[in-house]
Structure 1
Amino acid sequence: MGKGVTFLLLALVLCHALTVATGYKGEKQRRKEREREESGEEGEGGRRAEDMFLMRRSTRVIRTDAGEMRVVRSLGGRIIEKPLHIGFITMEPQSLFIPQYLDSSLILFVRTGEARVGCIYKDEMVERRLKIGDVFPIPAGSTFYILNPGEGQRLHIICSIDPSESLNLDTFQSFFIGGGTYPASVLAGFSPETLSSAFNVSVSRLTEMLSRQQEGPIVHIAPAHAPSIWTKLSQLKEEDRLMQVKRMVQGEVEQVKEWSWWSLFGMFSENEGNLFKDKAPDSYNIYKKSPDFRNDYGWSVAVDGSDYKPLKDHGTGIYLVNLTAGSMMAPHMNPRASEYGIVLRGSGRIQIVFPNGTLGMDTKVREGDVFWVPRYFAFCQLASRSSPFEFFGFTTSSLKNRPQFLVGANSLLHTFNTPELAAAFGVTEERIRRFINAQNEAVILPAAPGGDEDVKRASVKFEAVPEV
């Protein structure tokens, strides 16, 4: 028995040692991975730390002859307090994104072209005409459609997709009101007998209505391209046209006349005034707002809930920045929100710094790239020397952001210019004063005389505080 006890104790000791060793090895490996992440080196999966901030995962979720939609998905993680996906919608001239509702809220921004957006607002169908620079929100669960009425102009829309109310089935979930074999209408899921009774029509007529559309979620509406389900709307007045979509959503029925979306374009000029006689929010044009800041090196605009109330309801802000060639948005941090940026024009670099003072990302970006900056992280944007750099984006708060600039004539170093600050840097008060006063510009700074590479290689030298 004594030998058995001795063997059992020996086994327990060996198991404990193995557990400790395994735990140490696992912790050591996790520590190495954290160090690689903070230094920007590649981990085991080949992923660089900078990939955290440059959103590369673009997925085409819709593609038809009349247009497409791509979505750049937000990364998950503990430091993302409100993830936003970014959508890119492209529609050919005279096309329609058919009526649907989503489990996520959208904020549309018209990049190029013109659009007609119809949606349900407080049980009423409303329409808005959107032009370049216009912003318009669509709440989750609100049925909407998007029309491109232009005859020779493609429509490009950038949108934020807020999944905070989503079903978490995918990036977002569409529920199509209209549809057929592709896409399927949500109505098609009910039994034919149930729908026949609800619509007060025959099963054969119902079957024909729910099986004719096969052109996809974005369809041509010009007579030369129009699919059969959208081809006949000739006699309806503007009020009847708006009510038709509402009836489709509510499941109400009347003896439906043959109609299409095409003929609504002939009604725009005649009924323009009536389309906007409602209490729904209008669109907001960011290009028409006076810059919050402007100097010789660029300008910036921010729009929050106090400027445009629908943003307050969505808990989101928007911004637009234009930098002249070679200039930079001074290093700063956002105390209230993360931000998602989309490069609209030109090229430049984005630098983001980890909380431990190491460089998290220093990456060149160009038109179409999407980046995000976590709340509190210090960062700056630098325009290339060859062209201006323009970027638009969304913030995760509708409150005034009040960015805190770390460099420049309005930096918090000026506000905090005390003996304690000098001691924190280990220099004399006179030295720190000369150092922070060397830059006379604020917010948007001029190009460094030596060029980008010289700036990257430059080092800062301080005068040490004499020992006491």
Structure 2
Amino acid sequence: MAIRATIPLLFLLASGLLFAGAVGTSREEESRRGEHSLRECQQRCERDRPSYQRAQCVQECRDQHQQWEHEQSHGRGHRGDREHEREQEQGRGDREQEQEQGRGRRGDREHEQSHGHGRRGDREHEREQEQGRGDREQEQEQGRGRHGDREQEHEQGRGRRGDREQEQEQGRGRRGNHQREGQQEQDSRRPYVFGPRSFRSIVRSDQGFIEALRPFNEESRLLRGIKNYRVAIMEVNPRSFVEPGYTDADGIGYVAQGEGVLTVIENGEKRSYTVRQGDVVAAPAGSMMHLANTDGRRKLIIVKILNTISVPGQFQYFLGESLVSSLSKRVQRAAFKASEERLEKLFGRKGKKQGFIVRASPEQVRELRHHASEGGQSHHWPFGGDSRSTYNLLEQRPTIANRHGRLYEVDAHSFRALADQDVRVSFANITAGSMTAPYYNTQSVKISVVLEGEGEVEIVCPHLSQDSERHQQGQSEREHQQRGHGSESESESEQQQQEKYQTIRARVSRGSALVVPPGHPAVAISSSRGSNNLQIVCFEINAQKNERVWLAGKNNVLGKLDRPAKELTFGAPAREVDEVLEAQQEEGFFAGPEQQQGHGEEEWRHRGRGEEAVESFLRMATGAF
């Protein structure tokens, strides 16, 4: 008897061990699949993303992997609950079976005892069997009821899980709304600075891509004045070819890295140029172009601005081959006087690899370079002719140069292709730990992209301060109205008495973009932590009548004020004002704040002013604004 009762328990124990082993193996397989997926995602980041976006891409892969692990563990918890319920059901079924067996054994013993009592015992035994069958049927009905109750509990559990999942979805939606609101609030606080993640993919293939910022008027209402302009970055892998095409926008680009061959077909004339780092490239809207990266090791990177024509802030890249293949077959036959078979072979899409940047063979690269050396050098500025496509900034004398940085510039006077767009292109190379002098432009909107290094920028903006004051003024007016006193005229007079400006501070690194509107003082500071200089390419729109006004350093505008004007403006004797304004004799680039804390402090102390002079200058400059 004891052996019979032990067999079901042993069976349950063996089943539990086999199930635990299967679950452990399944979890190990899931973990291996998750780690493999994470490695593939990180490898795609290293292979497909530019270097300045790889760290962020890898972090996104890790976040997705953590989310997947959380969902897996959450799902295992639900599966564990269901398995526990099934084990309980199985245990109840085994206990019912043992009870049935026990009743059967008791019935056998009673039957043996009643067998010796004759017919009366037989009749009593029959009645007991009938009663036993009735009891068993009743127990089975009760078991079916319990099973139905368990099924109802399962349905209720599924409903509760569905409610929890719905609550989780709603929570994710609320978190997404909070994130969007936080992003909008961050954009409102820094409407002129855009990180590398702000760029969106326009076209992409295995051998390169084009990315662009969204239209400026969509990024911030303060940038509606440049709604026709876009900023784009093209990156081409080594020994790759950009298929012939054109854009419906006038473009001006700067070759940030690498070298290649550019061919432009304009007004029926084809010209090929060798382009390399430092070249400024002009491309009118609609001109057919193709580009090849002739370097076997480095990528070709071009930063450009586009002045859109048909739709403000929107541009399209048209591929020549795709445009022809999009025409109807009968139009193709009539246009090219060729059979449908030959046209299908030439323009057909079947079996053809898609992508506007393709791999080129070494022989093809050499031939493209040979065409550029034959026909392009005579047009390459300043070696001869009137170039309309290229001008190398780094080969010219810098406009400003000292130990803290160099500034290279080109405008329509040196490069006539810029006259049509009224744009000046400049390249600033700021030594690590140094900074630009505070300045503002009178007419130009300055669009800049960081090419190398890291640092920070400061932009003084009156618009954000006015928005903040209007918001605070509205709250104050509502409070006054609720209290039943105060007036609108008092609030307006207080706003007029207090002129305030808000300073936008932001960290920048490779791939960051920033916009400085006219009249907004700005400073760029190169980080002293790294060994790389902060290198920035700038496109200044409305450059013809623009003037750059320096607020500090040699020839700064504040130093040109008359003596009475200085005393009335700064509230100090003119001699003290001059001591501060004339102390910095560098031009364009200065030692940065961290360098000033060291060597600069001894120079100030030698003049007898010390840190008080620095603080006094900052207060006076703020008062002058």
- Specify the TM-score bucket, using the shorter chain as the normaliser: 0.7 to 0.9
Q: Which moved more, 1:325-334 or 1:277-286?
A: 277-286
Q: For the residues of structure 2 that align with 1:99 and 1:44, how far apart are their CA atoms?
A: 38
Query: Aligned partners of 2:407, 2:372: CA distance in 1, in Å?
Result: 37
Residue 32 of structure 1: aligned partner: none
Code of the residue aligned with 2:252 in structure 1: it is: I
Paired residue for 2:269? 124
Moved over 4 A (4+): 275-280
1:404 aligns with 2:530: no
Determine helix, strand or coil for the equivalent of 2:542: coil
Q: Which residue of 2 aligns with 1:58?
A: 199
Alpha-carbon distance, 1:393 to partner? 1.5
1:149-176 deviation line (CA, Å, top 9, x unaligned): 223332111112222x1334x7411221
Aligned to 2:186, the other structure's residue is in SS state coil
2:225 alignment counterpart: 81
Question: Is residue 297 of structure 1 aligned with residue 404 of structure 2?
Answer: yes
Secondary structure of 1:153's counterpart equals coil
In structure 1, the partner of 2:357 is 218
Match in the other structure for 1:436: 581
Bigger CA radius of gyration: 2
1:349 to 433, 456, 470: 456
- Report the structure, 1 or 2, having the larger helix content: 2
Match of 1:265 in 2: 366
Counterpart residue number, 1:460: 616
The AA in structure 2 aligned to 1:384 is S
Cα root mean square deviation, aligned: 2.7
Equivalent residue, structure 2, for 1:206: 343
**Residue 138, structure 1, aligned to residue 283, structure 2:** yes
Structure 1: which amino acid aligns with 2:213? V
Residue 424 of structure 2 corresponds to 317
2:538 alignment counterpart: 393
**Contact 2:208/2:357 (CA < 8 Å) preserved in 1?**
yes
The corresponding residue for 1:173 is: 316
Cα offset, 1:273, TM superposition? 2.3
Tell me the residue number matched to 2:142.
Answer: none
Q: Which has the higher contact order (CA 8 A, sep 6+)?
A: 1
Corresponding residue for 2:26? Answer: none
Which of 303, 324, 335 aligns to 1:187? It is 324
What residue in structure 1 maps to residue 527 of structure 2? 384
- Verify the 8 A CA contact 2:444 2:517 in the aligned structure 1: yes
CA 1:74/1:406 → structure 2, altered by over 3 Å: closer, same or farther?
Answer: farther
1:303-323 Cα distance to aligned partner (Å, 9 max, x none): 111111111122211111122
Name 1:110's counterpart in structure 2. Answer: 255
Query: CA 1:280 to 1:292, structure 2 compared with 1: closer, same or farther past 3 Å?
Result: closer
- Whether the 8 Å contact between 2:257 and 2:300 is mirrored in structure 1 is yes
Cα offsets for 1:267-292 (capped at 9, x unmatched) = 64477323455665252111111111
**TM-score, length-scaled by structure 1:** 0.73
Q: CA shift at 1:438, angstroms?
A: 2.7
Cα deviation code 1:349-406 (max 9, x no counterpart): 1000013542331111112211111111111111112242221111113426431011
Change (3 A) 1:425 1:285: same
User: Structure 1 residues 282, 89: CA separation in 2 closer, same or farther (over 3 Å shift)?
Assistant: closer
CA distance in 2, matches of 1:357, 1:443: 26
**Aligned equivalents of 1:208 and 1:431: distance in 2?**
81
Equivalent-residue separation in structure 2 for 1:309 and 1:112 (angstroms): 24
1:299-348 per-position Cα deviation (integer Å, ceiling 9, x unaligned):
21221111111111222111111222222111110112011111122211
- 1:70 partner amino acid: E
Question: Which amino acid in structure 2 is aligned with residue 186 of structure 1?
Answer: L
Deviations 1:48-107 (A, max 9, x none): 434311124210112211111111234213554334322111111221111111111112
- Given candidates 494, 501, 507, the residue that maps to 1:358 is 501
Pair 1:199–1:332, CA change in 2 (3 A): same
TM-fit CA distance, 1:43: 7.5
Cα distance, 1:44 vs. partner? 9.3
> Could you tell me how far 1:205 is from its partner in structure 2?
2.3
Counterpart mapping for 1:279-290 below 5 A: 281-290=388-397
Alignment partners' CA distance in 2, 1:412 and 1:392: 25
Please state which structure has a larger fraction of its residues in strand.
Answer: 1
1:424–1:289 Cα change, 3 Å: same
- Which amino acid is 2:335 matched to? A
Asked if the contact 1:335/1:404 (under 8 Å) is kept, the reply is yes
- Change beyond 3 A, Cα 1:173–1:288: same
The aligned residue for residue 513 of structure 2 is 370
- Alpha-carbon separation, structure 1, partners of 2:435 and 2:573: 29
Letter in 2 for 1:193: R
SS of structure 2 residue aligned to 1:441: coil
Q: 2:482 is matched with which residue?
A: none
Q: Gaps spanning 5+ residues in structure 2: where? A: 1-180, 380-385, 463-498, 602-610, 621-625
- 1:49 matched residue in structure 2: 188
Aligned partner of 1:151 in structure 2 is 296
**What is the count of residue pairs matched by the alignment?**
372
Q: Is the 8 A contact 2:294 2:369 kept in 1?
A: no
Q: Secondary structure at the match of 1:152?
A: coil
Structure 1 residue 117, shift from structure 2 partner: 1.0
Q: Could you report, residue by residue, the CA deviation over 1:415-446 in whole angstroms, capped at 9, with x for unpaired residues?
A: 12431232122223233222322323232122
SS, match of residue 190 in structure 1: coil
1:370 maps to a residue whose letter is A
Q: Deviations over 1:204-234 (max 9, x none)?
A: 32233222443211111228xxxxxxxxxxx
Q: Which secondary structure does the structure 2 equivalent of 1:98 belong to?
A: strand
Q: In 1, distance between residues paired with 2:183 and 2:238?
A: 47
